[in-house]
Amino acid sequence: MTDVLLAHGGVGSDQTLNSFLDDVVKSSLDRDPLKSVVNSVVRMEDDPRFNAGTGSYMRLDGSIQMDASVMIPGSFGAVIAIEKVRNPVLVAVDVMNRSPHVILSGDGATRFARTLGHAEYNPETEKARIALQQTMAKLKDSSNKEDRILNFRDRLTIESFLTVDTVGAVARISGKFAGAVSTGGANPMLRGRVGDVSIPGAGIYVGSEGAVVATGIGEDIIRNSLCFRTYKRISDSSLVDVLREEISHFNSPVGLIAVNGKESAWFANRQMSVGYYAGEHVN
């Protein structure tokens, strides 16, 4: 059985990033599947071209709140709306391995990160500031920022989301599976908004038969329990056919990457950058 490490840069991400992501997964490969996926996600969190970590987008109030999670069969860890850390996915690992909990949120997640030595870090970038300005311009018909977003479900189409991307990775190493995901959120979004990334079965699911992670509009992914639904079918037929059929139920931007005991596959209804490695066991 070959080892596989597969990463995506988010649905909607430019496919010219594929070669970069190929290098990311090759350099991230480790004997431990969890380390492999986390290494890949850290590389993307550190690159401002991706909507995670340093590349995260702002909430309507100008804050940056990030979500991340990791999963292996029987174990899960996540952070929701964490602030002022460089690599939320590393905090998610610590939640799984060094806390009695599976999910920490908000200021509690940030305090937990500081306790374990994750330094304070400001992920704000010019990209994020420009994106917020664009968002506010789209919602300029109200004088109150909160009012502008509270009714956007009725007044903005799905395609009006300026960003819906997430980064993620799945691995099969020595027959064992792992997944990791991280995001700076959708845009526009209220402070405190929770997407699919930190919800097991929605944006990520890993079990003894394989690993699945998603990217897209989190609200739609949550409503459909996308990754759990996909995982339940992970060995039914051709893996890419399973992904294609699950995504066919969505009008909104959605992508999936997955591995099972024999195959690996990816599929999206928009462009999506992907990095892929398949080879012999890691020494």
Q: How far is CA 133 from CA 8, 59, 166, 188, in A?
A: 27, 11, 21, 11
* Token pair of 26 as six digits: 């090759």
3-279 adopts what CATH topology?
Answer: Glutamine Phosphoribosylpyrophosphate, subunit 1, domain 1 (3.60.20)
Sequence-distant (≥ 6) Cβ neighbours of residue 213 within 8 angstroms: 8, 168, 169, 170, 179, 180, 181, 203, 204, 227, 256, 257, 258
Q: What is the pLDDT along the chain (283 residues), one digit of tens a residue?
A: 799 999 999 999 999 999 999 999 999 999 999 999 999 999 999 999 999 999 999 998 999 999 999 999 999 999 999 999 999 999 999 999 999 999 999 999 999 999 999 999 999 999 999 988 888 887 765 555 555 555 555 444 444 555 557 899 999 999 999 999 999 988 788 899 999 999 999 999 999 999 999 999 898 999 999 999 999 999 888 999 999 999 999 988 999 999 999 999 999 999 999 999 998 755 5
Q: Catalogue the active-site residues.
A: 166
DSSP states of 91-105 as a string?
HHHHHHHHSS-SEEE
C-alpha–C-alpha distance, residues 171 and 178, integer Å:
5
The total of other beta-carbon atoms located within 10 Å of residue 141's CB is 9
